Amino acid sequence: MLARVVSADAWRWQPHPEVWFLIAALTGLYVYAARAIGPKAVPAGRPVLTRANKAAFAGGMLLLWFASDWPVHDIAEEYLYFVHMSQHLIFTLVMAPLLLLATPRWLADLVLGDGRVRRVIRWCAKPVVAGIVFNAVTIFTHWPAVVNQSVESGALHYSVHVLVVFTALMMWMPVCGPIMEWRISLPAQMVYLFLMSVIPTVPGAWLTFATNALYESYDTSFRLSGVSVEDDQQAAGLIMKLGGGSWLWVIITAKFFVWANRHEEAERAGRRVDERDVLTWAKVEQELARTEPAADPHHTKP
């Protein structure tokens, strides 16, 4: 098998106007909605956007630019698969939840409307559906044929990124989505994120222990920084297993302390602890098996 030939000048600047346009368009729409629509949708005296919304949006746009523009995009697409892996983890595990946290309820209601779009998104955001689809897409996008073709085709490459981000947004919706009725309880969130951290270890292990070049598109004649094909794949596998998993465990730990603190405060105040805040497998199964949103004022039957 002949190695694919790439330029030895890996650090040459390559403009990506489509990325700049996307970020400018998203920022423009966000600002326009906040200034022109928000004041009409939000009751007087309440902020249209909170500081947390603004900070999350700024962080999401910064990560989108960092992971999609030169040099990360070009190195990820042409030279090193572990950079490609890091790029996807940024999109799915950091940028996606930030974008949801940046979205206030009134804006989510505006985008989703009251009809079919809302019903479809509601179904896609159910924990079981979202978790299965997200992990299926994760495995699909690491299939050698898909990776090789996406490197060769710009349209396919862009489509894969759109699919990855959309499924990540759905996966995070039960955890930090703007519609509170669609979120599951804290205990269920912890178990849900634990499962999200376990399943990707399968393709991660496959990459880590591979002894041959799995992706023809990354078997290049020029090796950036002298990183071999095998070392590149093993690094990608470790990043997927340890990097992604560790980040999810940080979030799980933070949520556990929030849950424990609420439980302790309720007991100190002599209040009865809500069963939704007690970590039991029965409650977890009930939360994950829910098929209907609770009291969503915008939900309509098909």
Q: Let me know if residue 3 belongs to a domain.
A: no
What average pLDDT score do residues 114-119 get?
95
Q: Which residues pair with 4 in a beta bridge?
A: 220
Return the pLDDT at 10. 75
Q: Let me know if residue 302 belongs to a domain.
A: no
Band the pLDDT of 135: cuts 50, 70, 90.
very high
Return the pLDDT at 49. 97
pLDDT tens-place string over residues 281-294: 454 455 555 544 44
Q: Looking at the predicted structure, is the pLDDT value of residue 272 above 90?
A: no
Q: Let me know if residue 32 belongs to a domain.
A: yes
Return the pLDDT at 285. 54
Band the pLDDT of 128: cuts 50, 70, 90.
very high
pLDDT tens-place string over residues 137-147: 998 998 889 99
pLDDT tens-place string over residues 35-66: 999 999 999 889 999 999 999 999 999 999 99
Q: Which residues pair with 220 in a beta bridge?
A: 4
Per the structure, the count of domains in the chain is 1
Return the pLDDT at 211. 73
Return the pLDDT at 40. 94
Q: For the chain, give the mean pLDDT.
A: 86
Q: Let me know if residue 111 belongs to a domain.
A: yes
Q: Let me know if residue 206 belongs to a domain.
A: yes
Band the pLDDT of 257: cuts 50, 70, 90.
very high
Angle at 172 (CA atoms; ends 215, 245), nearest 5 degrees: 50
Q: Looking at the predicted structure, is the pLDDT value of residue 299 above 90?
A: no
pLDDT tens-place string over residues 231-240: 998 898 889 8
Higher pLDDT, 158 or 267: 158
Return the pLDDT at 279. 43
Indicate the length of the chain as a whole number: 302
Band the pLDDT of 12: cuts 50, 70, 90.
confident
Return the pLDDT at 4. 59
Q: Let me know if residue 152 belongs to a domain.
A: yes
Which range of residues forms the domain containing residue 29?
17-288
- pLDDT cut 70: percent of the chain above it: 87
- pLDDT cut 90: percent of the chain above it: 57
Range with the lowest mean pLDDT among 82-91, 139-148, 153-162, 219-228?
A: 219-228
Three-class DSSP labels, 25-70 = HHHHHHHHHHHHHHHHHCCCCCCCCCHHHHHHHHHHHHHHHHHHCC
Q: What is the pTM of this model?
A: 0.85
pLDDT tens-place string over residues 190-202: 999 999 998 777 7
Q: Let me know if residue 5 belongs to a domain.
A: no
Q: Let me know if residue 177 belongs to a domain.
A: yes
